[in-house]
Every structure is written in C-alpha cells, then in structure tokens.
A and B are shown apart, each in its own frame.
Chain A
C-alpha cells in the first residue's frame, strides 16, 4: 500500500484550537517532510525532519517523528482560518539520493479551521 498515509482524512476545528495530523509510512526513510496545499494550488514546503531527529519546531508548527513506529505527527497550535488547507506528508526512500531522489506523498488531511 501507499507510503505516507495521513489520518484523519479530514479535520474540522474552531479557530484557536490545535490541530494534529498523523502520518504513517512503511519503509525506512532519510527524511520526512510536510507540505501544505491550498485548494487548486501548488504545494508549499512546511518542514523537514531528518530520520535521526525526534522533534522539530517552526513557528506554530511542531513535528514529531518516531522511526520505530514509522509515524510522524504535525501539530498546528492556535489555528487560524488561514490555516485551512490540505496537509501532506512526504517520504523518501532510505538510500535514495542525487538524481534518483524522489518523494512519495500520502493522501493528505483536509483541515478546515472555522472562524
């Protein structure tokens, strides 16, 4: 089955609340990345966490990685209506690199933040 499966598929919260999205994957990885996509637009890179890291912060974003469980979570704190978007995790394959480097995207979580 597909590398990088997010859950939940959809999440609806009120402005100010925290949003947590999870991602699971199946093979060993070099890095795991989170991207955001507004409806009908391209993806925006949010954060990258390396396989030897357990937690990373960027502004209101907090990402955790548990390689033993092959899972990651993205936490958005104090959500805003502007955070409404789809969020995807993306994994690479351990050992890939150079011109063979490529990402496998999960199915995404659609986050709706209600004002």
Chain B
C-alpha cells in the first residue's frame, strides 16, 4: 500500500516552454502533498506544500508564478514549470501524506527535467 506515482519520469523540453508533472496517490487519499527539488548528489529541497482544494504554500525563495501547483483532488497534484530555463533542470520529487496525524511521507519515483 501507500504507492505514489509520478508522470512523466523523464522530460526534455526547450527553453521557454512549460512542463506539467503529475503526482498521484494510487491507493490512498492524500490530504497533503509536497513537492521537492533535488540537485545531483544533494539533499531534497522543499518547494511547496499543497493541500487539496486550497492554494499551495510555497517555501521562501520559490517563485509561485513559475512553479504552479494544483491539488485538484485527494489523489492528484500537479506541478507546472512555466517558461522553463536550463537552470530549472533538476530532479523533482513529490510526496504524499495520507492525512492529519500521519508523519511518514510516501514518495513518488521522481521526474528528471532537462531544459535545453
């Protein structure tokens, strides 16, 4: 149980285009989902916390207009990287939390974004 999927697993896009990454909880409802960014051989950096039906809470330094997050249902959150630049190239990972009182987060397999 507690499986989280991400799609796509890899994406290459041209500079200036937008890319949407989906995060789905497959066998549970996730009241809260998190989006992280990870640089090579580095730790995870929390970008934002999204709660179903409400606006995402962004971490300091993360541009909300550039990284659009939508948590439209209890099983789906999307991250859209708008007007992508090469410096946006990274590994993006989502995680989901089943509900209030849960401390563990269940992670998706990640999406490798390369902007050319």
Interface residues of A (CB under 8 A from B): 2, 30-31, 33, 35, 40-45, 48, 88, 92, 97-108, 110
Contact = CB atoms under 8 A, between A and B. Distances in A.
B95 A101 contact: no
B31 to A, nearest CB: 8
B100 A43 contact: no
Contact of B51 (A2, A33, A99): A99
Interface of B: 4, 6, 31-32, 34, 41-44, 46, 49, 51, 91, 93, 95, 97, 100-101, 103-110, 112
A44 B91 CA distance: 16
Given A99-B51, A101-B97, A42 B107 contact: yes
A99 B32 contact: yes
11 contacts: A35-B107, A40-B91, A40-B112, A42-B6, A43-B95, A88-B44, A92-B103, A103-B34, A105-B43, A105-B44, A107-B43
A97 B21 CA distance: 27
A106 B93 CA distance: 16
Nearest to B104: A45
B49 A99 contact: yes
A103 B46 contact: yes
B101 to A, nearest CB: 8
Given A45-B106, A88-B43, A99-B32, 17 more contacts: A33-B103, A42-B4, A42-B109, A42-B110, A43-B44, A44-B107, A88-B44, A92-B103, A97-B101, A99-B49, A99-B51, A103-B46, A103-B105, A105-B43, A105-B44, A107-B42, A108-B43
A102 B105 CA distance: 9
B103 A31 contact: yes
Contacts of B42: 107
A106 B43 contact: yes
List 7 A-B pairs, minimum CB-CB distance, nearest first.
A42-B107, A43-B107, A42-B109, A105-B44, A107-B43, A105-B43, A45-B104
Given A30-B103, A107-B42, A108-B43, A41 B34 contact: no
Contacts of A103: 34, 46, 105
